[in-house]
Chains A and B, each alone.
Chain A
Amino acid sequence: MKSETIMRWGIRFYIGIFFIYLFIPLIIMGAATFNNSRFPTITPWKGATLKWFDALAQDGAMWTALWTSLVVAMGVLLVAVPIGICCALFLSTVQGRGKTFLYSLMMSPLLTPGVIVGISTLIFWKSLSVSGGIMLTVIAQTTFIAAYVMLMVLARLQRFDRTLENAALSLGASQWQTFTRVLLPYLKPAIISACAIAFLQSFENYNTTLFVKGYDTTLTVYIASKVRTGLTPAVNALGLIMISVTVLIAILYEWKRRQEAKRTVSSVQ
């Protein structure tokens, strides 16, 4: 029993250290925003200020980059989500030889380094005389984000009771009506989650975007370039705002997901 107690305390200590490791960097980065210093740091502390938020608001390039990011993310959402849904529908319907191969092929963009997705897209479209820019960024990001969407939708589809489709057919619904009235409403929560993930993945993508962005700059690329050249705590201010927004969205998303889960559990009982 004694060794068990030590194990228990050991693991608790470890978890504690781990979460400190996980959050300290983010806290330090946030705190550096308010330091009245020319460089983003908390040591030495030179007094609190909000001037870096002002500096950020004055930064026109940042606003352009934000707009580009939003346009790209919306584009990816519109293209990748339908592709992912189609793949999930396909995989949940067909049986037989070739399915494993197709599944592996559909998964492969997730197992390919992001830079290579970017490079191959760049080269392919250059041969069609299309060069880097917002459109190529959307295409390159869609290549792997569609696979994420596929996995999320497929997970829900696998729990779908297909007799519901037969019931609809038996009541005279066409296949299209069965799809839109029975299957799509069932998939709605997964599709919404997939939209959120697709948007976020696109918004924060760096490795792929770097190669296909052309002369357009997304917010993530902009931040990275700021870190390397002309670093001021304005970057921290931007980071803090982005972190706050994502944390808010994450908590909201989790909360909604749990409500959903609770409702399912109670209805089963």
Chain B
Amino acid sequence: MDSSVHLDNVVMNFGDFTAVQKTDLKIESGEFFSFLGPSGCGKTTILNMISGFLEPSKGVVKIGGKSMAGVPANKRPTSMIFQNLALFPLMTVAENIEFGLEVRGVSKAERKKTSDRLLELVALEGSGSKKPDELSGGQKQRIAIARALAVEPQVLLLDEPLSALDLKLRQHMRTELKEIQRKTGITFIYITHDQGEALTMSDRVAVMSAGKLQQVADPITLYREPQTSFVASFVGENNPITGVVDAIDGNLVTLNCGVLGKFTGRGIGTISKGQSATLFIRPELLKLGQTGDMSFTARIAEVNFEGSYLTLTALLNQQHAISVQIGAEQYTADLIPDAEIQLSFASQDAVVIAGEGNV
């Protein structure tokens, strides 16, 4: 069955405020797709347009190729998992799960079969007669998933459902969600501001900022090939260095960063000589010593031991802080504050994006 979701040139305005700028995006059938962005970026608005709680100001939402214009939330082949889960507190767990079938007039025996099967899927057999309040946070989470799956939606919408859980449980639930998605083959559309969640679970991620899609790509591409300064600094850690374009040689762009020196990296998009641009280099791609073609010296300001790796904060020319991540095995006794170190990176590992890099 085609359960793709197409945002066909969708715009959402609230009065004068544009919550979502013109967006054209196709989410494939059976895909685990995430919208990632800070709060207020418009991602929840997109989810509400897909679920039918909001009608777009312009454009249409298509599910399975069919236009959803004028179709209310309760008639769409979607179901939603809410941030606060929104389990019905006065109903038992089984009644919660069966609710969607009950309102469709499915027989009691049939409903019972479904709720038993789903309770098994989420590993909570025998909890059907409990009230939601008697369950732990993780268990409630799974009931919310089971309830949403009971109506056999083509598309499952998840609105930051893990944000209320503690760290350990959150990481565990990521694996479980991914597993459930694989088993059911339903299209999952996931909203989060937590990049860890988006990167670990998703087939593709759309990064959003200020109502605008910044980049849509699989997690690895997003991490390695950020297309905008926003993506470069929002996804993962990154060290920005801003300068003026000095030279362009094939895909390599050299920036003159004044007192900090000159740095070269891969240019992204259109960049012309003389304009200001920012080079981004990831902490783990900076090496101690002179292994890469870009090398410079810096003074250590801080050393933080984090278990399998170390984070060094180093000052370039006494002023520009740079974060460096090295394996714990590379630790030596002379890595102490105020020590002078040699750092380098391969210019192919750094990216240069037009603009000041402020986000």
Contacts and interface: CB of A to CB of B under 8 A. Distances in A.
B53 interface: yes
Contacts of B147: 171
A107 to B, nearest CB: 30
A96 interface: no
Q: Which of B53, B74, B79, B99 has the most CB of A within 10 A?
A: B74
Interface residues of B, number: 28
Nearest to A263: B133
Nearest to A166: B53
A246 B300 CA distance: 80
Given A166-B73, A185-B90, A171 B79 contact: yes
A12 interface: no
A177 interface: yes
Contact of B82 (A166, A177, A181, A185): A166
B230 interface: no
Contact of A172 (B88, B100, B133, B157): B100
Interface string A114-156: 0000000000000000000000000000000000000000000
B104 A172 contact: yes
B80 interface: yes
Contacts, number: 65
B51 interface: yes
A193 B147 CA distance: 32
Interface residues of A, number: 19
A170 B73 contact: yes
Interface in A168-206: 168-175, 177, 181-182, 185-186
Contacts of A171: 74, 79, 99-100, 103, 147-148, 150-151
Contacts of A181: 99, 103
A168 B51 contact: no
A167 B80 contact: yes
Contact of A174 (B84, B90, B103, B157): B103
Contacts of A185: 90
B109 interface: no
Nearest to B90: A185
A267 interface: yes
B74 A167 contact: no
Contacts of B229: none
Nearest to A175: B74
Contacts of A229: none
Nearest to A182: B88
A139 to B, nearest CB: 35
Contact of B151 (A163, A172, A267): A172
B82 A163 contact: yes
A163 B103 contact: no
A47 to B, nearest CB: 57
A213 to B, nearest CB: 42
A167 B103 contact: no
B94 to A, nearest CB: 14
A167 B82 contact: yes
A241 B154 CA distance: 64
A177 B86 contact: no
B78 interface: yes
Interface in B55-88: 72-75, 78-80, 82-84, 86-88
A267 B90 CA distance: 12
A164 B99 contact: no
A168 B99 contact: yes
B163 to A, nearest CB: 14
Contacts of B82: 163, 166-167
A177 B88 CA distance: 14
B79 A170 contact: yes
B257 to A, nearest CB: 49
Contacts of A54: none
Nearest to B131: A267
Nearest to B87: A167
A264 to B, nearest CB: 9
A164 B74 CA distance: 13
Contacts of A163: 82-84, 86
Contacts of A267: 89, 133
Interface string A76-111: 000000000000000000000000000000000000
Given A166-B53, A170-B78, A172-B151, A161 B84 contact: yes
Interface of A: 161, 163-164, 166-175, 177, 181-182, 185-186, 267
Closest 3 pairs (CB-CB, A-B): A171-B100, A167-B86, A267-B133
Interface of B: 51-53, 72-75, 78-80, 82-84, 86-90, 99-100, 103-104, 133, 147-148, 150-151, 157
5 contacts: A170-B157, A172-B151, A185-B90, A267-B89, A267-B133
